[in-house]
Amino acid sequence: MKIVKELSIEKPVEEVWEVLGNQFREIDKWASIISESNVSGEPKLPGVNYSIRSTTATTGKGQQELTGFDAENHILSYKSLSGTPPIVKQVHAKWSLKENGNNGTHLVLDFQAEMKGLGHILAPIAKMKLGKIGDELLDDFKYYVEKGKPHARKLAAK
**Each residue of 104-157: pLDDT tens digit?**
999 999 999 998 887 778 888 888 888 898 899 999 999 999 999 999 999 997
The structure's pTM equals 0.93
Contacts of 33 (CB under 8 A, 6+ apart): 57, 58, 59, 133, 136, 137, 157
Sequence ranges of the domains in the chain:
2-157
Give pLDDT, residue 73: 97
Class of the 2-157 domain? Answer: alpha beta
| Distance (Å, whole) CA 7 – CA 142 | 8
From the number of C-beta atoms within 10 Å of its C-beta (0-12, 13-18, 19+), residue 147 rates as: exposed
| Distance (Å, whole) CA 69 – CA 76 | 5
Give pLDDT, residue 127: 86
